[in-house]
Amino acid sequence: MKALGPILAVVAAIIALWYAAAVPMNIQEVLTQAERAGAVVEPEGAMNRRDVSRFALVLKNADHLAESWSMERARLPAPHQVVKELWASTWDEEINGRRGIVKSGSLSNRSLIYHGSITLGATIVGFLIGSGLGILLAVGIVHSKTMDMSVMPWAIVSQTIPIVALAPMIIVVLYSIGVEGLLPKAVISAYLSFFPVVVGMVKGLRSPDAMQTDLLRTYGASKPQALWKLRLPASVPYLFASLKIGIAASLVGAIVGELPVQRGGLGARMLGGSYYGQTEQLWAALLFAAAMAAILVWQIVWIEGKTLRRMGVTP
């Protein structure tokens, strides 16, 4: 509980700063709208205001400040506006919306829950494939010297390459041969989580020290036995560290994968929000994605805790 105090203080400070920043950010449009509605602003005429600094405008028009927090399509929507939009596109849309799940039996294509589930599907499928293959390759690398010397340097180098740059191409190429929907995005997600898992898992499988491996040799243990009884258990902390990185990378991959061919998903929603100037929508989608990332990572942490406890490692 003692730890919560500073965190809440910092979060409160961030929210306060957000509200404060919204004022100078939105002031130009606020004044334009106010003038159109007939109010007198200083200086008059949008042309005259263009070259005046935002802070000067704020100081001169103090009575219009509060409107910064309720503007539509604001440059910086206020926190409560974003929360309102979040509510409207999740619970409200599904329960009360015409196309929501209550009234039509399926998820509304306007709701973030729908888009989120599209992105989530690709993320999880890709993550499972990528980590699964990554673990297999890691086991191969640790047991075959040829594979180790040929492939491992490339696995390490690949971490310095922006693999995500491949995403649009993969999507478009697969689309042109008729593969669309979840699979191309899952391929990107898999690819992004693959290498971190390989590198982390190899480190983990190699983590037992010489003393431990020597002991097993004195027992005449075979390689598979050593793998199962020593290396795999020893690699668990390293594996989970990479899984946390991997799942975050998978989510980014799925989002980027939704940009070229927009068939729903949080990435498409963000892009749409930016094209049509629907800033609240953009922010709401971003926060929803952030929340999803947090929940996914937290899930891994939870599984890690349970696994380590089962293994007798006190956290």
Partner 1 sequence: MILVFAAVAVWIGAWAFNGWLANGRFSGLASVRLAVPLIFGATVIVVWEMIVRGLAVPAEILPPPSTIVGAFFGNFGILWPDFVQTFAKGALGGYVIGCGAALLTAILVDRYDFLRRGLLPVGNFMAALPIVGTAPILVMWFGFDWQSKAAVVVVMVFFPMLVNTVAGLRDTSAMQRDLMRTYGASYWQTLFKLRFPAALPFIFNGLKIATTLALIGAIVAEFFGSPTRGLGFRISTSVGTLALDVVWAVIVVAALTGTAFYGAVAWLERRMTFWHPSQRK
Give the one residue of 182, 231, 279, 304 binding partner 1; rule: CB under 8 A: 279
- The Cα–Cα gap between 30 and 60 comes to 13
- Decide if residue 251 touches partner 1 (CB under 8 A): yes
- Decide if residue 146 touches partner 1 (CB under 8 A): yes
- The Cα–Cα gap between 219 and 233 comes to 18
Report yes or no: 79 and 19 within 8 Å, Cβ to Cβ.
Answer: yes
Tell me the closest approach of the beta carbon of residue 5 to partner 1, in angstroms. 8
- The Cα–Cα gap between 194 and 229 comes to 24
Q: In the complex with partner 1, which residue's Cβ is closer, 101 or 287?
A: 287
CA 47 to chain centre: 40
- Decide if residue 21 touches partner 1 (CB under 8 A): no
Give the one residue of 15, 39, 136, 294 binding partner 1; rule: CB under 8 A: 294
Tell me the closest approach of the beta carbon of residue 280 to partner 1, in angstroms. 11
Give the one residue of 242, 282, 284, 304 binding partner 1; rule: CB under 8 A: 282
Give the one residue of 16, 161, 303, 311 binding partner 1; rule: CB under 8 A: 161
216 CB-side CA count, 13 A: 16
Give the one residue of 47, 160, 219, 314 binding partner 1; rule: CB under 8 A: 160
Report yes or no: 74 and 283 within 8 Å, Cβ to Cβ.
Answer: no
Name the phi and psi angles at 146, rounded to 5: -60, -50
Report yes or no: 191 and 208 within 8 Å, Cβ to Cβ.
Answer: no
Tell me the closest approach of the beta carbon of residue 3 to partner 1, in angstroms. 6
Match 């927090």 to its residue by tokens. Answer: 69
Tell me the closest approach of the beta carbon of residue 39 to partner 1, in angstroms. 26
- The Cα–Cα gap between 195 and 158 comes to 7
| Residues at the interface with partner 1 (CB under 8 A) | 3, 5-11, 14, 25, 75-76, 145-146, 148-154, 157, 159-162, 164-166, 168-169, 172-173, 176-177, 244, 248, 251-252, 255-256, 259-260, 266-267, 270-271, 273-274, 279, 282-283, 285-286, 289-290, 293-294, 297
